Chains A and B, each alone.
Chain A
Amino acid sequence: MCPERLLRTVPHEAENPIEKSLREAFLLLQDQLKPPFPLTIPFPPEYSQLNHAIAFGILAQPHLAKVHLTHLHSIVVDGYEIFTSILLKLCNESFSRLLEVPKCQLLWVCSMLIHVSAEKIETLFISLMRQITGGDFSESNLWLSVEVLKILSNNWDWLVEEPIVLSSALYVYLRLLADHFRLGGSFKLEELKRMEIDFCVKALREHFQLSMHIGRDLVRILQDVTYIPEFKDIWKDLLFDPKSFQVSEFSSLSNLYWRRTPSHFFLLRISPQMESQLRFLLTFVKWGSQKRYQTWFVKKHLYWPGSESMISDIVRFICCVHHPSNEIIHSNVISRWAVIGWLLKSCRRNYYEANAKLALFYDWLFFDEKIDNIMNIEPAMLLMVNSVPQYVDITHMLLEFLFLLVDNYDVHHREMLAGSRSGKGSTRSFQHYICVAIKRLMKMKHLLTFDGIYDKFASAFAKAVQALEVGNGLIETTVQGPLINEAALEKVESLVKDATGKGADVLVGGRRHSLGRTFYEPTVLGNVNNEMLISSQEVFGPVAPLLRFKTEEEAIQIANDTNAGLAAYIFTRSMPRSWRVSEALEYGLVGVNEGLISTEVAPFGGFKQSGLGREGSKYGIDEYLEIKIISSSSLNLEFRSCKRVSILHHGFLDSSNAISLGKYFRIQCDFIPPAPPLTDPDFVLKEHPPFKISKCRPEICLIHPSS
């Protein structure tokens, strides 16, 4: 009798090794699977084989399943550990390919295993829950959702003894409700929603202590369902009547905020296959090679409408679960922040994008160095910092979101959040990491902003500058120290006064700092124009003037309208524009989308009053050379009588040039190699341009007739 298949067969696909081992065991031991069962306990290798055979029988033969199960009960010696391990492996690796009958059987046997308290049954249920895909409203996915929930709802006694399963199930079904509730329609779906609501409400109301294990992410996912009446009431009680939950440790919502969510919760909404693909991407794929993998990932996991709902879960996974080793961070494997940037860009709808950004910044809000991990907040920080030259709009977008979040997230507990100086939590770290990003922007002395984005930029920039910490330079978190002396301070003050007198706005700062002495507040001046002294004089202080412009020509004209000309920077995405503008700018150094532009191997120097000549590189050596001309006449005749000429090497002549010279004069030339330099023996002039005889500098010092 040919046994049934467990997994869907696809042409040209190798046989699944798990199914193969199960079937082979079944075929081998078929006869032993019929009653009466032998009473002897088999030895370990046979025991494992028998487990495999029974597993296959239960999954493939529903009409004989009970018989197989009884057999299993009678031979078990390891608390069903091998048996659940087999099912766990099948579930983790091939669940989506299971045929209908084996799938039903799998769920049936899992529910049976609860009653015998099988080893690792809780892990098996977690694995089953991971197979419920987020944002997926297909029949099979909803069916799985219902069936698992039915089993859990029928086994509350067991659930209460398994806090991890209970809290995990709560996390899963709250997330699923957020997707399901928005979809109206079929009767089955209504039934599912009702079951989900009842389950979650029961977990929260009657077993809040266990639900609390989720930690602060419980608040995040609860907020997505507060429009459901039952959860609205729960939210109200969490805020205003915490005692109603009857848990002594819970006296205020802040108790939840200060609990970091254990990382295993973030695996719940990612399928094992998605997890292995993401981990592979972040462990092995090099910068530049990620495009194909990203396309395949989207095609497999993010292609149907509604699948975007998983993006916030994936972001949470990447930030909080997958922490690459130092070795990987320093290798050229693609970084987490880049993958997150790609995921954020893949969001089409605002709702999902906002959720994804919240998932990215959630740990920033309540960061406590004692319990939180810096690796959780590193991707967001790096994404903002690394977007600055080329994708400034991403940094702005994220900063804007962050400021909005800090201002509006849970107004009742505002004092706990970052941003407010008196609050506990991530104030210091938050500001420190923002400052790294701002530092790059602040390097620009004049910020010419395109009129269209002026307001947006000005407000975001002003907000960022406000967060800069001023103080003693020896303290780690200080970004800005004092000015050099009183005269510098007075100069800054006079320039700011002149600007404001002529119509500039002070967006931030604009006065001496409360720390006194020579401290000045970081200042942003808006609506500056060329009339004001500040746009043509060097400030040497923490003042960033913003000037508007409407066209490229206007920008160039404003930039060139000064008698200084050392360094300029432009930010643009257009390649032709970058060439046009950088050539038109009368500056010795031009940075395009880049803030760090000086290096000793490139010529450093300015136009106009910024100085003459260049430092560094081969052009810098010119200042140390003397050019000499030697004019000679009436030598030709004498040359023709010469038979040999010795040419002493000097300056830019070398042996090949000497030979050319000889050819010109049609006489044999010997080349005398240079004497060692008298001054610096280590100095070697590496470059000398090859030149033809017509262009030679007459640095021939000695041409004499030889005998």
Chain B
Amino acid sequence: MSCDYYIHMRRAIQLKDIVPAATNTVNTQFILLEKGSIAQDGKEMTCLALVADATASVHFQMWGSECKTFEPGNIIHLADGIFSYHKNNLVLRAGKRGKAEKVGEFTMLFVETPNMSEIRGARDPNNPKKFVQEATVSPHSKIFTPSR
């Protein structure tokens, strides 16, 4: 059981394969494209960012000290992250148990479409733990519109 967990934890996935889930098992690497404005959520700072890898993009919710540290162009490795609804937005974040770390900058290819945060899904009726993609709300992020 624990070794299954270990293997599950270690496996890195591409952004196109992330599905919304309540578990913090997302291990992935991406490059930060754009930062939104920094806001206050109670005591903590929050900041939404557009991140992407070679397969897809997604909205990444930064928390606390992450907001000031990560800059566009940074390549970030996320361990034990969580991809779920947070205040009506589908976002990827480190969460309480996860960790996001900068591992480099610039030298990573990315695509901005599809945007995983703009895809609405529903629970698979046969398997409540599984999420099925239903419809694409938008091919690109509606918050960070593609630069012309």
List residues of A whose CB falls within 8 A of some B CB.
Answer: 10-14, 276-277, 280, 284-285, 289, 291-293, 295-297, 299-300
Contact = CB atoms under 8 A, between A and B. Distances in A.
A285 B65 CA distance: 31
Contacts of B107: 276-277, 280
A12 B105 CA distance: 14
Contact of A14 (B69, B101, B110, B147): B101
Contact of B106 (A12, A289, A291, A293): A293
A284 B111 CA distance: 13
A10 B101 CA distance: 10
Nearest to B77: A14
B72 A13 contact: no
Given A13-B101, A14-B77, A292-B73, 20 more contacts: A10-B102, A11-B65, A12-B69, A12-B70, A12-B100, A12-B102, A14-B101, A14-B102, A277-B107, A280-B106, A289-B110, A291-B147, A292-B72, A293-B106, A296-B106, A299-B72, A299-B73, A300-B73, A300-B105, A300-B106
B72 A12 contact: no
A292 B51 CA distance: 12
A295 B72 contact: yes
B35 to A, nearest CB: 12
A13 B101 CA distance: 5
Interface residue SS majority, chain A = helix
B76 to A, nearest CB: 8
Contacts of B69: 10-13
A14 B103 contact: yes
A12 B66 contact: yes
Contacts, number: 45
B28 to A, nearest CB: 15
B100 A285 contact: no
Contacts of A10: 69, 102
A569 B88 CA distance: 53
A291 B110 CA distance: 12
Contacts of B109: 284-285, 289
B51 to A, nearest CB: 12
A10 B69 CA distance: 8
B47 interface: no
A12 B102 CA distance: 6
A42 B103 CA distance: 34
B108 to A, nearest CB: 9
Contact of B33 (A276, A280, A292): A292
12 contacts: A11-B65, A11-B69, A12-B66, A12-B69, A14-B102, A14-B103, A276-B106, A277-B107, A292-B33, A295-B72, A296-B72, A299-B73
A297 to B, nearest CB: 8
Interface in B89-117: 100-103, 105-107, 109-110
A635 B72 CA distance: 78
A325 to B, nearest CB: 18
Considering residues A13, A276, A284, A297, which has the most beta carbons from chain B within 10 angstroms of its beta carbon? A13
Nearest to A280: B107
A14 B72 CA distance: 17
A113 B98 CA distance: 45
A96 to B, nearest CB: 13
Contacts of B100: 12
A562 B72 CA distance: 57
Contacts of A11: 65, 69
Contacts of A277: 106-107
Interface string B39-71: 000000000000000000000000001100110
B106 to A, nearest CB: 5
A297 B65 CA distance: 24
B73 A12 contact: no
A295 B65 CA distance: 24
Interface in B126-148: 147
Contacts of A13: 69, 101-102
Nearest to A297: B106
B141 to A, nearest CB: 13
Given A11-B65, A284-B109, A299-B73, A292 B103 contact: no
A16 to B, nearest CB: 10
B34 to A, nearest CB: 8
A284 B107 CA distance: 9
B9 to A, nearest CB: 17
Contacts of A12: 65-66, 69-70, 100-102
Nearest to B69: A12
B105 to A, nearest CB: 8
Contacts of A292: 33, 72-73, 147
B96 to A, nearest CB: 15
Nearest to B70: A12
A701 B126 CA distance: 61
Contacts of A284: 109
Contacts of A300: 73, 105-106
Contacts of B73: 292, 296, 299-300
Question: Most chain-B CB neighbours within 10 Å: which of A12, A284, A291, A292?
Answer: A12
Contacts of A293: 106
A248 to B, nearest CB: 48
A690 B105 CA distance: 57
A280 B101 CA distance: 22
Contacts of B70: 12
Q: 5 nearest interchain CB pairs?
A: A296-B73, A14-B101, A12-B69, A280-B107, A13-B102
B69 to A, nearest CB: 5
Contacts of B101: 12-14
Contacts of B103: 14
A299 B73 CA distance: 10
A390 to B, nearest CB: 16
A276 B107 CA distance: 8
Contacts of B65: 11-12
